[in-house]
């Protein structure tokens, strides 16, 4: 029997000021994230953020989109001016590319998973706003999160997961077409369903951090890749 081909998962790369391997500026994806997709049966491929991408052309042969974590989003994109020195890593090209791909993937009902900054970009893309800096940030915080709904659709066998968080911003006003499915004990949003008629979710935590040892984090990636496999490559 022929071996099943791994579905190709598009991950928009993140600009880095430098790495030891490249010596200069680089485009990166988190190793744990790539490994989580690979271990779930997908083939993660990092894409270069560019201006005015024709995603229909660029994503031919891909089966899903993953919008990863990263630096902060320019507050101008959600109608605010910067009012804290805690904002970091803003890159306008990154923002524009993320915004464009997020909207395209959701509008075209491509299997879609957004993580951390990715979830915040989803909210901004559909008219929401962000808390620029939380009073008590969630950097290096691990806590249990209870899913209020969509447990089965996320591929989870339990409603409570141990979430590894690293963020200092949170959703303020919720964007259109988005549904909160989990919140932290402090009240901020931890997971969203994107009601576009397809499979589309956004998580504030980083499931890749402990997917190698936590069955339930791995279940999310497995379901994401299963959805990609079922959708098949984009023509």
Q: How confident is the model at residue 38 (pLDDT cuts 50, 70, 90)?
A: very high
Average pLDDT over the chain reads 95
3: in domain: no
Closest CA to 93 of 71, 109, 108: 71
pTM over 0.85? The answer is yes
Q: What pLDDT shows up at residue 20?
A: 87
Is 165 a residue of the active site?
Answer: no
124: in domain: yes
Cα 212 → chain centroid: 18
Kindly state the tokens that stand for 31. 């190793």
Q: Where are the alpha helices (DSSP H) in the chain?
A: 31-39, 55-58, 92-107, 117-125, 215-231
CATH of the domain at 79: 3.40.50.880
* CB distance 144 to 96 below 8 Å: no
* Residues 54-67 pLDDT 10s: 999 999 999 999 99
2: in domain: no
Q: What pLDDT shows up at residue 112?
A: 98
* Residues 174-232 pLDDT 10s: 999 999 999 998 889 999 999 999 999 999 999 999 999 999 999 999 999 999 999 99
In the set 116, 167, 188, 190, the catalytic residue is 116
Q: What pLDDT shows up at residue 140?
A: 83
Residue 113 neighbours by CB under 8 Å, 6+ apart:
64, 65, 66, 67, 200, 201, 202, 203, 220, 224
What are the beta bridge partners of residue 138? 167
In the set 167, 206, 219, 223, the catalytic residue is 206
For tokens 């620029």, what's the residue?
132
In the set 138, 190, 208, 223, the catalytic residue is 208
Is 133 a residue of the active site?
Answer: no
209: in domain: yes
Per the structure, the complete domain to which residue 28 belongs is given by 8-231
12: in domain: yes
Is 223 a residue of the active site?
Answer: no
Is the backbone of residue 72 left (phi > 0), alpha (psi -120 to 50) or beta?
beta
Number of domains into which the chain is organized: 1
């Amino acid at each position: 029997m022929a071996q099943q081909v791994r579905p190709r998962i598009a991950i928009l790369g993140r600009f880095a000021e430098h790495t030891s391997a490249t010596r200069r500026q680089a485009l990166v994806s988190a190793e744990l994230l790539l490994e989580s997709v690979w271990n779930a049966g997908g083939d993660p491929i990092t894409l270069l953020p560019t201006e005015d991408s024709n995603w229909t052309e660029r994503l031919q042969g891909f089966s899903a989109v993953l919008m990863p974590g990263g630096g902060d989003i320019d507050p101008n994109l959600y109608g605010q001016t910067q009012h804290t020195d805690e904002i970091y890593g803003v890159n306008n090209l990154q923002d524009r590319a993320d915004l464009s791909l997020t909207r395209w993937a959701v509008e075209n009902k491509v299997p879609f998973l957004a993580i951390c900054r990715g979830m915040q970009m989803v909210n901004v893309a559909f008219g929401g706003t962000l808390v620029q800096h939380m009073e008590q940030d969630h950097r290096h915080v691990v806590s249990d999160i209870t899913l209020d709904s969509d447990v089965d659709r996320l591929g989870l066998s339990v409603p409570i997961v141990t979430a590894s968080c690293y963020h200092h911003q949170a959703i303020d006003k919720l964007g259109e077409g988005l549904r909160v499915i989990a919140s932290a004990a402090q009240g901020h949003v931890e997971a969203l369903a994107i009601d576009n008629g397809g499979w589309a979710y956004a998580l504030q935590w980083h499931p890749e951090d402990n997917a190698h040892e936590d069955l339930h984090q791995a279940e999310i990636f497995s379901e994401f890749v299963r959805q990609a496999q079922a959708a098949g490559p984009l023509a």
